[in-house]
Chains A and B, each alone.
Chain A
Amino acid sequence: MKKTICISLIFISSILLSACSLEKDVTDLYKEETPLEAEIIIPASFSANTQETMKAELTQGGKMVENADFVHFEIWKQDGSLKYSMEQAEEEGNGTYALSKNFDSDGLYYIKVHASNDGSIIMPQKQFIVGKLSESELKFLQKGIRKQEESPEHHH
C-alpha cells in the first residue's frame, strides 16, 4: 500500500513539475495590440544646398498605413546648434510619408518620427550623419551613451 502511494506521489509530482512552462501562442488568448511600425529612410549621402528627403514608411498589422492620424518629423543636431520644429510630413501613398530639408551644416543629427494611427502612437528616432563628424561628436558617439542631449519636447 505504502509503496503504491510512494510511486503515485512521485509520478504525479513529476507531471506537475513538467507543467510549469507557458505555451508559445498563449498571448493569443489575451488582449493583443496592433502597434504601428515605422521604417525611417535617410538618404545615402547628403550634399550641401540641396533639398534632401527623409521618409517614413508606416505599417500596422502587416498593412501599409494610409491616412494616418498624424505623421510629424522632428529633426535636431546633437550639439544643439540646430533645431527644426516639428513639421507635418506629406503623404506620398503606399504608407510613405516624406519631408524635405536642407542640411547645410555637417555633423551628427537626430530625426524623430511622431506618428499615430488607430490608437497606436509611436516616436521612433534615428541618428544620422551629414558630411563629417566633429571631434566632440565622435567622442560623444564613442562614449556609447545612446542618449542624445536633451530631446526637444516642446510639442506637449
Chain B
Amino acid sequence: MLGSCVNCLWSLFMVSPKKQSLSGVLLPRLNKGKHIFRRDLHAVPAFWITAGMLFLIMTGLPWSGFWGSNFQSLATNSGSGYPPSVWTGSAPTSSIKTKDIADVPWAAENLDVPLSDIQGFIPISIDDVVTIANREGMHPSYSINIPQETDGVYTLSAFPPKAQDEATIHIDQYSGAVLANYRYDHYGLIGKIVAWGITLHKGTQFGLVNQIISLLICLGIMLVAFSGFYLWWKRKPKKGLGAPKAPQIKNMKLFLFLLIGLGILFPLVGLSLIVVWLIDWLIIKRISVIKNFLNA
C-alpha cells in the first residue's frame, strides 16, 4: 500500500513536464503518433487516478496494523482521536470487588465454601445486556463482547455503515452500570476524520454512489498497472530489461530528501528501502551478469 504511495510520487516526478505544456499529463496527445499515445495512455490516467488512490491510501492507513495503531495511540493520547478502548486501549474494569462476587462450590456432597462466599454478586444475564443496549439506543448492528475475566465488562460496539452512528458502550457485568458510552460526537477531531475516512474507504458512508466511485478508482489503478506493463513491453530492447541507467543520487537532492522524509514518516518503508539498498550494494553491484541485465 505504501509502496504505491511512494510509487505515485516517483511517477509524478517522472512525468512532471520539463517544458511548460501540460498536455501529456492532464490530457492525452492523440495526434503525436503511436509511441506518444502509448505513453499518454499510462501517464494521463495515472495522474488523475493518483488523487483517488492517495485518498484511499490516506483513509486506509489509520487502520493498518503497524502505522495505524501507532497513529491511533498518538491521536488518542493527544485528546483529539478516538476515545480509549474504541480503537486502542483497554476497556474499563468492573468496580465490584472480587471478594463480593459469588463463589461457585465444587465438591459433590456438601457446601465446601463458606456461605458468605456464595452469597455475592452474580453477573447480569445477556438479556439484561440487550435491554440496556436498547435503552441506550445502540445501532442494531452492535456486537457484544462477553467478559472473560472476573473484573471484565460487557462491551457493546457498533461500526455501522455511517460514521455518525458509531458507538462503544462498556457495561459492568455485575451491576449493569454503563461505565463508558462513547459516540461519534465524543470523538476528537482526528477521530471523527478517521471514522469518516474508514466508512468512505469501505464504501458504506454513501452507499452505492460511494462504491461506484471506489470501483472506478480501482479499475483506474488496474488500467494504469496494465498500461504501464504494456508501455514497457513495447519499448524494451530485445536484450535486457531496458531499465534506464540510474542517475547519481547526488544530482537528485530533492528526490533524496523526499525519500528520507517518507522513510521516516513510514518506518516500514524506510526499512524496506534500506533492505533494497543493501541488496543493491551487496548483490547487484557485485555480480556482473545481474548488473548488466538490470542496467544498474
Interface residues of A (CB under 8 A from B): 2, 5-6, 8-9, 12-13, 16-17, 19-23, 26-27, 29-33, 35-40, 42, 110, 120-129, 133, 138, 141-142, 144, 146-148, 151, 153, 156
- Kindly list chain A residues whose C-beta atoms are within 8 Å of the C-beta of B176: 121-124
18 A-B pairs (CB sep. < 8 Å): A8-B260, A13-B270, A19-B73, A21-B73, A29-B83, A33-B177, A35-B175, A35-B179, A121-B135, A121-B176, A122-B172, A124-B174, A125-B121, A129-B115, A138-B110, A142-B105, A142-B107, A147-B125
Residues of chain B at interface, number, CB under 8 A: 57
B-side binding surface: helix, strand, loop or mixed?
mixed
Given A22-B89, A129-B119 in contact, is the A17-B267 Cβ separation under 8 Å? yes
Considering the complex, which residues of chain B in the window 257-294 have a beta carbon less than 8 Å from any beta carbon of chain A? 260, 263-264, 267, 270-271, 274, 277
List 7 additional A-B contacts (Cβ < 8 Å) besides A22-B76, A26-B76, A35-B175.
A17-B70, A26-B79, A30-B188, A123-B124, A123-B175, A141-B104, A141-B118
Considering the complex, which residues of chain B in the window 91-121 have a beta carbon less than 8 Å from any beta carbon of chain A? 92, 95-96, 100, 102, 104-108, 110-111, 115, 118-121
Interface residues of B (CB under 8 A from A): 69-70, 73-74, 76-77, 79, 83-84, 88-89, 92, 95-96, 100, 102, 104-108, 110-111, 115, 118-125, 127-128, 131-132, 135, 172, 174-182, 186, 188, 260, 263-264, 267, 270-271, 274, 277
Most buried by B among A33, A37, A138, A153: A33
Query: CB distance B108 to A35 under 8 Å?
Result: no
Query: CB distance B175 to A16 under 8 Å?
Result: no
Query: CB distance A156 to B131 under 8 Å?
Result: yes
Query: CB distance B186 to A6 under 8 Å?
Result: no
- Kindly list chain A residues whose C-beta atoms are within 8 Å of the C-beta of B271: 9, 13
Query: CB distance A127 to B274 under 8 Å?
Result: no
Chain B nearest CB: distance from A17 CB in Å? 7
Chain A nearest CB: distance from B94 CB in Å? 10
Cα-based distance from A38 to B96 in the complex (angstroms): 9
Query: CB distance A20 to B175 under 8 Å?
Result: no
Query: CB distance B178 to A35 under 8 Å?
Result: yes
Query: CB distance B95 to A26 under 8 Å?
Result: no
Query: CB distance A29 to B79 under 8 Å?
Result: yes
Contact among A23, A120, A127 with B178 in the assembled complex (CB-CB below 8 Å): A120
Cα-based distance from A9 to B275 in the complex (angstroms): 12
Query: CB distance A31 to B181 under 8 Å?
Result: yes
Query: CB distance A27 to B179 under 8 Å?
Result: no
Query: CB distance A122 to B175 under 8 Å?
Result: yes
Query: CB distance B119 to A30 under 8 Å?
Result: no
Cα-based distance from A22 to B105 in the complex (angstroms): 39
Query: CB distance A2 to B104 under 8 Å?
Result: no
- Kindly list chain B residues whose C-beta atoms are within 8 Å of the C-beta of A120: 177-178
Cα-based distance from A64 to B165 in the complex (angstroms): 35
- Kindly list chain A residues whose C-beta atoms are within 8 Å of the C-beta of B79: 26, 29-30
Residue of B nearest to A21 (CB): B73
Residue of B nearest to A124 (CB): B175
Residue of B nearest to A128 (CB): B119
- Kindly list chain B residues whose C-beta atoms are within 8 Å of the C-beta of A148: 122, 125
Query: CB distance B88 to A22 under 8 Å?
Result: yes
Given A9-B263, A148-B122 in contact, is the A138-B74 Cβ separation under 8 Å? no
Cα-based distance from A156 to B108 in the complex (angstroms): 39
Contact among A5, A19, A32, A127 with B120 in the assembled complex (CB-CB below 8 Å): A127
- Kindly list chain A residues whose C-beta atoms are within 8 Å of the C-beta of B122: 110, 125-127, 146, 148
Query: CB distance B182 to A31 under 8 Å?
Result: yes
- Kindly list chain B residues whose C-beta atoms are within 8 Å of the C-beta of A12: 264, 267
Most buried by A among B69, B100, B102, B177: B177
Cα-based distance from A13 to B70 in the complex (angstroms): 11
Most buried by B among A5, A39, A138: A5
Chain B nearest CB: distance from A32 CB in Å? 8
